Chains A and B, each alone.
Chain A
Amino acid sequence: MKILVPVKRVVDYNIKVLVKSDGTGVETAGLKMSMNPFDEIAVEEAVRLREKGSATEVIAVSIGVQQAQDTLRTAMAMGADRSILVLSEESPEPLAVAKVLKAIVEKEKPDLVFLGKQAIDDDMNATGQMLAGLLGWGQGTFASKVEIVDGRAEVTREVDGGTETVSLAVPAIVTADLRLNEPRYASLPNIMKAKKKPLETIQAADLGVDMTRRLTTVSVAEPPTRKAGIKVGSVAELVEKLRNEAKVI
C-alpha cells in the first residue's frame, strides 16, 4: 500500500503575524516557517502505517516555492521515503492545489492520501475534501483514528458533539485532526539521511493545471482590538462588576 502525504510550508504556529500597513496581506518576510502542524500529524500516521507493515511506501508532496523543499526534507527525516516538489506561486488556492494533487495521484497511484485537516495560514479546511471530490474517492475528514480493516479504511472522525466512524473503500482520502497522533521529532541522523533521499521537482505548469486564483484579496485588516480590561482585586469586586457594569449575570 502506497501513501501520499501533501505537506504545506506555513508561518510557524507560535508566531503572531502582523497585517501589512498597506492592507495587502500579512507580513511573512523573515518569519520562521515550518511544516503545517496538521501535516506533521498526517506524515506521522503514514510513517506509522509503514512501520506496522500496512504501507510499503510513503511519498511526501508539497506545492509552492522552492523553499518548500525544506518542508519535504522534514517529512523525509520523519520517515517519508521520497518527495515531490511542485513549483508554483506562493500559496495557491485549495482548488488549484487539489487539481495538482489529482494529477500527482494519477501518476503515483497511491492507495491512501493523508492530509492535514486545515492549514493554519489560510484556515480553509478544504483541500482534502476537494481532492476526494475530484477523484470520486471516499473521504475521512477530521480523523482521530485510522485503521485498515478488510482492505477498507475505517476512520473515526471528530464531529460536533462526539465522534463518528466511517468505513471507506480504498483508495481514499483521510484528513488528520489533532488527536490522531503525537508526531515524532526528526533525529539528527535521520535529518542527515533525509538529505540523500530522492526529491523530484516539477513545474505546476507541466501538469496542465490552471492555477488562476478564483478569489481576489481586496484587503487584509487587523481584527478589531478589544478595549483594555481591568484587574479586579477580589471575587466580590468581580461579581459586582459582572452584575452592575457588564450586566451579564
Chain B
Amino acid sequence: MTVLVLVETEAGQIRQASRSAIAAATKLGDVHALVVGNEAEAETAAALAAKVPGVAKVLKAGADVLAHELAEPMADLIVSLAGDYSHIVAASTAVGKNVLPRAAALLDVQPIPDVMAIVDADTFVRPIYAGNALATVKSSDAKKVLTIRATNFDPAPAEGGSASVDAVNVTVQDTVSRFVSEHTPTSDRPELESARVIVSGGRGLGSAENFQSVLTPLADKLGAAIGASRVAVDSGYAENDCQVGQTGKIVAPELYIAVGISGAIQHLAGMKDSKVIVAINKDAEAPMLQVADYALVGDLFEVVPELAKAL
C-alpha cells in the first residue's frame, strides 16, 4: 500500500505536525510526501521533505494557484493524484482540516479526522465528545482519508532520509476563491503545538496586562510557549491562536502549567494528554485541580512570580 501525505512547511522547516503525520503514515505503507506552493516554495519544501526518514518519494507541486494552500485548488490537486493511493493523510492542522474533507467528498469517501491510533489499514481510533470517549471506527471506503492528531505520534526526524523528488504537472485552476491577506503575529516563543513546556492562562488573570506581566517571566524561565483558555481569548487577554481546547489547539507537552484556568470540559479536551499537569488556582474545587498531577491552591498573583523566581 502507498500513502500520500500532505506536508506543510513553516519558517523554513517541515512542520512538526506534518512529521508526525509522516510517522503515522509509515505504519500504513510506503509514504509519498506531497509539497505545494509557488515554484520556489515547492522547491524548498521538496528538498526538506526529501530528507525526512520514512519518505519514499516527494511529489513537488509548484504553481501560483497553490501559493496560499487554498482548499479549492488543493483538493482538486489531491483528487488528481489520488488514483494510486490507498490512504491520503494530513496532520490535523488548519490546512489539513480545511482541505482533506473537501477532497474526501470529491472522492466520495467519509473522512476520518483526528486519528489518535492506527489499529490496521481500515481501523482507526479517534476522540469524540471533546475527548470524553474514544471511538474505534472501521472504514468500508476503498480509499481512506485521514487527518492525524499530531500529539499522538512521535514526529519523524527532520534529517536522515534521501527520497527522490518528482515534479507534478499542476493543471488545477481556482475560479471561486482568492487569497486576500493574512495576519500572523510573530513570536519568539516556541510553537504552541510542539512546545515542551506550556504556561497557560485563564479568566483568573483578569486583564491582558496581567496576562502578560504574570505569565511572561515564568514562560521565559522555562522556555515555554504561552497558551490560553477560551475565556482569556474572548476577553482579549491573548491572541486567538493561543487557545488550547476542543476548538483550539490540541497540545501534549511534557509540562503544562494551568494558571487561573478552571478546567472546563472543552479546555481539558485540548491538554489532558500532557505528561505532567500543574494547576495553580485559588479555587480548591476547580476541575483543573482534579486532573493536575500537582495542584497548588493559592493566589496566582503571588504564586506565579514566586515560582518564576524559584526556577
What distance in Å separates the Cβ of A23 from its nearest Cβ neighbour in chain B? 9
> Does B137 sit within 8 A of A, measured CB to CB?
yes
User: When the two chains form their complex, are residues B93 and A160 in contact, meaning their CB atoms are under 8 A apart?
Assistant: yes
The answer to whether A214 and B241 have CB atoms under 8 Å apart is no
Taking a contact as CB atoms under 8 Å apart, the answer to whether B93 and A158 are in contact is no
Which residues in B have their C-beta under 8 angstroms from that of A162?
Answer: 182-185, 239, 241
Q: Max chain A CB contacts within 10 Å: which of B106, B182, B306?
A: B182
CB contacts (< 8 Å) of A38 on chain B: these are 247
A67 to B: closest C-beta gap in Å? 19
Pair B175/A121 contact, Cβ less than 8 Å: no
Nearest residue (CB) in B for A168 is B177
CB distance from A212 to the nearest CB of B (A): 9
| Shortest Cβ distance from residue A99 to the other chain B in the assembled complex, whole angstroms | 9
Chain A residues closer than 8 Å to B260, beta-carbon distance? none
| Chain B 99-126 near chain A by CB (<8 Å), digits 1 or 0 | 1111111101111111000000001001
- Report how far A215 CA is from B311 CA in the complex, Å: 50
Cross-chain contact A130 with B184 (CB below 8 angstroms): no
Does the CB pair B129–A121 fall under 8 Å? yes
Give Cα A141–Cα B113 distance, bound, in whole angstroms: 16
**Contacting chain A: which of B49-57, B67-75, B160-168, B207-215?**
B67-75
Query: Interface size (A, Cβ < 8 Å)?
Result: 79
Given B101, B181, B303, which contacts A165 in the complex, CB threshold below 8 Å? B181
- Does B82 interact with chain A (Cβ within 8 Å)? no
Taking CB atoms, residues of chain A closer than 8 Å to B138 are 215-216, 218
B100 to chain A, nearest CB (A): 8
Q: For residue B233, give the distance in angstroms from its CB to the closest CB of chain A.
A: 8
Residue-wise interface mask of B (64-89) relative to A, using a CB-CB cutoff of 8 A (1 in contact, 0 not): 00001011100100000000000000
Do A124 and B113 touch across chains, with their CB atoms under 8 A apart?
Answer: yes
**Closest chain A CB from B265 CB (angstroms):** 6
Q: How far is the CA of A126 from the CA of B103 in the complex (A)?
A: 11
Contact indicator A214/B139 (Cβ below 8 Å): yes
Q: Write out the residue numbers on chain B whose beta carbons fall within 8 Å of the beta carbon of A73.
A: none
Residues of B within 8 A of A217 (CB): 135-137
Is B180 interfacial (CB-CB < 8 Å)?
yes
Given A134-B105, A215-B138, do A166 and B179 touch, yes or no (CB 8 Å)? yes
> Which of B103, B254, B277, B293 gathers the greatest number of chain A CB atoms within 10 Å?
B293
Alpha-carbon distance between A125 and B98 when the two chains are bound, in angstroms: 9
Q: Are B246 and A167 in contact (CB under 8 A)?
A: no
Q: Which B residues are CB-close (under 8 A) to A249?
A: 197, 222, 255, 311
Q: How far is the CA of A95 from the CA of B112 in the complex (A)?
A: 11
* Interface of chain B, main secondary structure: mixed
B240 with A215: CB separation less than 8 A: no
A98 within 8 A of B: yes
Question: How far apart are B177's CB and chain A's nearest CB, in angstroms?
Answer: 4
**Interface hub of A130, A215, A221, A236 (most chain B Cβ within 10 A):** A215
Given contacts A126-B111, A248-B276, contact A139 B97 (CB under 8 A): no
Which residues of the partner chain A approach B98 to less than 8 Å between Cβ atoms? 129, 139, 141-142
Q: Is the pair A165, B307 in contact by a Cβ cutoff of 8 Å?
A: no
Q: Given the complex of chains A and B, what is the CA–CA distance between A232 and B294 in angstroms?
A: 6
B170 at the interface (CB under 8 A from A): no
Contacts of A13 in B (CB 8 A): 265-266
Measured CA separation A159–B93 after assembly (Å) = 8
Task: State which of A120, A216, A232 has its C-beta within 8 Å of the C-beta of B246.
Answer: A120
Does any Cβ of A come within 8 Å of B1's Cβ?
A: no
Contact of B130 with A179 in the complex, beta carbons under 8 Å: no
Interface flag for A198 (CB, 8 Å): no
For residue B230, CB closer than 8 A to chain A, the reply is yes
What CA separation (Å) do A236 and B289 show in the bound complex? 18
* Complex CA–CA separation, A11 to B265 (angstroms): 13
| Cβ-defined contact, A93 with B110, below 8 A | yes
Complex contacts, A232 vs chain B, CB 8 Å: 294-296
A209 to B129, CA, bound (A): 27
B178 near A239 with CB under 8 A, answer no
A52 close to B (CB within 8 Å): no
B177 close to A166 (CB less than 8 A): yes
Output the least CB separation between B280 and chain A (Å).
9
User: A residues near B, CB below 8 A?
Assistant: 11, 13-14, 16-17, 19, 26, 38, 93-95, 98, 117-118, 120-127, 129-134, 136-139, 141-142, 144, 154, 157-169, 172, 177-179, 213-223, 226, 229-232, 234-236, 238-239, 241-242, 246, 248-249
Can you list 6 A-B pairs, Cβ within 8 angstroms, ordered by A? Answer: A120-B130, A159-B241, A168-B178, A177-B247, A217-B135, A238-B296
Known A-B contacts: A95-B105, A95-B108, A159-B94. Give 12 more (CB < 8 A).
Answer: A123-B126, A123-B127, A126-B101, A130-B101, A133-B101, A142-B98, A164-B182, A216-B137, A217-B136, A223-B132, A223-B134, A226-B272
Q: What are the 4 tightest A-B residue pairs by CB atom distance, in nearest-first order?
A: A162-B184, A130-B105, A133-B105, A126-B101
